[in-house]
Amino acid sequence: MSKDIENIFKQKFENFESAPSADLFDKIQNARSKKKRAIWIWSSAAVIASAGIIGLLLIDFDSEKSNNREITQLEIGLLDNTELNTASENFENQNNEQSTSNIAEGLLKKQNNAFDQVRTPNVGLPSLENEKLDKTPLKASNESTSPQKQIANAQLADLFQKIASKTDNTNLEGGTLYHRNLVQQLSEAPSIVSKSMSDLSSNLEVKPNDLTLNDESNSDEKVQETDFSENDNLITKEETEEKEDKNKKLPIHKLVDKSRWSISASAGLGIGGRSLSGNSLYLENRNNTECQQLSNAVDLRLIYDISPKWSIQFGINRAERNENFFYEESDKLITVYREEERTETVIHPVLGTYTRTYTVTVEEEQLEEGKTYNSNNVYTNVTIPISLERELYSNKYVAVMARSGILIGISSKASGENLNQENEVIKLNSETYRTSGINFAHIGIGAALRASDRVSLIAYPEYRFGLNSAYNGTIINQREFAFYTDLGIRIRL
């Protein structure tokens, strides 16, 4: 009865058919083309991003620094009376031409120290730009001063003016100043610089004596100051109004105590693959049985700004590359041996007829149906990334960065199955994987969007590739590669 029921079920369902939805074939085709397109897009994006980043890293962006460049943010330290005194000494040591640019030069020399201590002013962005002032000593006279130095001089003077005039909103213990579009204006109008310096002295309430300037030795200066006042009068009303308008637009913030350190946490999906060495048949078998699937990575980093534009990063990274393994073995003939008990009847002339039982080993050939293997392979790597990051562009809200570096392996494992060179299915966890050493290099280009003073949201697509084989001590060279989209957050400490 039991067998009957089984047969009935088998018979009933063997030819059971049901029509799927009419559009299922279209869905299948769409899914296949999407899959293919995704692989192409990821691969192309990885190649383009890699080429672009290499190109960008090779370009010396410093050489592009020009007078037209905007100062997006500048952080300066306090110039106390002592510093002003030193500045005035410089002032006295100059030639008889008592141009206020000499004062600025003295201040600039001191200010160089302050810039040496500049912390990345970035409020969340990885390394918002600090305008690098020309730190070479300025020449005494305006005539011999290069345009770039004049600009630096002008910047400094103007910044002091702004600090002094906006003391309510500026922390003079180390004021932070946002300054835009004034470079050209100041370089073209030295008289404004002079005005700035005189304003600076008065607004900071630094008496002439504090500057150790005596009336006798600096009589020319007085005359000069008078001249500047006259020059001020020469500035037309329109120019003054225009300047005021621009000044109103300057956002001046209180200084936030920031360090050079940031932390970043990101995670994302991606797609990977592996390049293989071996004979063409083996490669074909591997390629036909393995299909890449969505991978993922998590990244945690500590970032230290070594300069306004460059930072070094290190941390921990965990990446998981997934693939599907599907393999159907061919049917094969196998030889089996079994014990068989046989009975024979013996007719003996003396003993008569009797039955004898004996055991024989029978050899048989059987067709063994090939197995089907279907498993998900997971390659997991835990590494320490060490990277160098270069800021390519930044403004108040966004920054674009590129980074490249190495990944030092600390743990590596794999689970699942694949084919060995004998076309046998092997368990991946039985293989010896390379764990320590510089296993990967990575390259990426990212963007940061400022969310608050300290926090930025980051998107950092990255391509990583194996520098050596994933396997230890085998003749198969399997180098992993993957493209990940890291999305996360970066926090200025």
- What is the smallest separation between the CB atom of 285 and other proteins, expressed in angstroms? 8
- What is the smallest separation between the CB atom of 324 and other proteins, expressed in angstroms? 9
> Is the CB of 2 or the CB of 233 nearer to other proteins?
2
> Is the CB of 2 or the CB of 353 nearer to other proteins?
2
Site map 17..56 versus other proteins, x via CB under 8 A:
xxxxx--xx-xxx-xx--x---------------------
Q: Which of 67, 184, 259, 288 binds other proteins (CB under 8 A)?
A: 288
- What is the smallest separation between the CB atom of 255 and other proteins, expressed in angstroms? 56
| Backbone phi, psi, residue 296, to 5° | -150, 160
Q: Which amino acid is at 186?
A: L
> Is the CB of 24 or the CB of 493 nearer to other proteins?
24
> Is the CB of 18 or the CB of 96 nearer to other proteins?
18
> Is the CB of 33 or the CB of 214 nearer to other proteins?
33
CB 106 within 8 A of CB 291: no
> Is the CB of 326 or the CB of 393 nearer to other proteins?
326
| 3-state helix/strand/coil string of 120-182 | CCCCCCCCCCCCCCCCCCCCCCCCCCCHHHHHHHHHHHHHHHHHHHCCCCCCCCCCEECCCCC
Does 430 bind other proteins (CB under 8 A)? Our answer is no
Q: Which of 291, 362, 426, 467 binds other proteins (CB under 8 A)?
A: 291
- Site residues (CB under 8 A) for other proteins, limited to 362-401: 371-372, 374
Q: What is the chain's length?
A: 493
Distance of CA 376 to the CA centre of its chain: 30
> How distant, in Å, are the alpha carbons of 79, 160, 325 from that of 170?
14, 11, 63
> Is the CB of 167 or the CB of 374 nearer to other proteins?
374
- What is the smallest separation between the CB atom of 256 and other proteins, expressed in angstroms? 50
- Site residues (CB under 8 A) for other proteins, limited to 108-167: none
Q: Write the burial class of residue 12 (CB in 10 Å: 0-12 exposed, 13-18 middle, 19+ buried).
A: exposed
- What is the smallest separation between the CB atom of 432 and other proteins, expressed in angstroms? 25
Question: Which letter does DSSP use for residue 112 in this model?
Answer: H
- What is the smallest separation between the CB atom of 368 and other proteins, expressed in angstroms? 10
> How distant, in Å, are the alpha carbons of 11, 163, 178, 253 from that of 169?
88, 9, 12, 6
CB 450 within 8 A of CB 127: no
Question: Which letter does DSSP use for residue 433 in this model?
Answer: B
Helix (H, G, I), strand (E, B) or coil at 337: strand
- What is the smallest separation between the CB atom of 54 and other proteins, expressed in angstroms? 34
How many CA atoms lie less than 13 Å away from 279 in the CB half-sphere? 6
- What is the smallest separation between the CB atom of 371 and other proteins, expressed in angstroms? 7
Candidates 439, 382, 455; CA nearest to 412 is: 382
> Is the CB of 274 or the CB of 442 nearer to other proteins?
274
> Is the CB of 326 or the CB of 354 nearer to other proteins?
326
Q: Which stretch binds other proteins (CB under 8 A): 16-24, 108-116, 315-323, 430-438?
A: 16-24
> Is the CB of 279 or the CB of 372 nearer to other proteins?
372
Name beta bridge partners: 385: 407
> Is the CB of 279 or the CB of 345 nearer to other proteins?
279
CB 258 within 8 A of CB 122: yes
Give the separation between CA 431 and CA 424, rounded to whole angstroms.
14
Q: Which stretch binds other proteins (CB under 8 A): 3-11, 125-133, 420-428, 458-466?
A: 3-11
- What is the smallest separation between the CB atom of 326 and other proteins, expressed in angstroms? 6
- Site residues (CB under 8 A) for other proteins, limited to 163-222: none
Candidates 380, 292, 88, 109; CA nearest to 206 is: 88
> Is the CB of 342 or the CB of 427 nearer to other proteins?
427
Distance of CA 161 to the CA centre of its chain: 38
Site map 315..354 versus other proteins, x via CB under 8 A:
-----------xxx-xx-----------------------
Tokens of 62: 């410093």
Site map 238..277 versus other proteins, x via CB under 8 A:
----------------------------------------
| CA-only gyration radius of the chain, Å | 39
In sequence order, which residues have a C-beta less than 8 Å from that of residue 469 and are 6 or more positions away? Answer: 434, 476, 477, 478, 479
Q: Write the burial class of residue 436 (CB in 10 Å: 0-12 exposed, 13-18 middle, 19+ buried).
A: exposed
- What is the smallest separation between the CB atom of 65 and other proteins, expressed in angstroms? 53
In sequence order, which residues have a C-beta less than 8 Å from that of residue 150 and are 6 or more positions away? Answer: 101, 142, 187, 190
What is the contact surface with other proteins in residues (CB under 8 A)?
Answer: 1-2, 4-6, 8-21, 24-25, 27-29, 31-32, 35, 288-289, 291, 326-328, 330-331, 371-372, 374
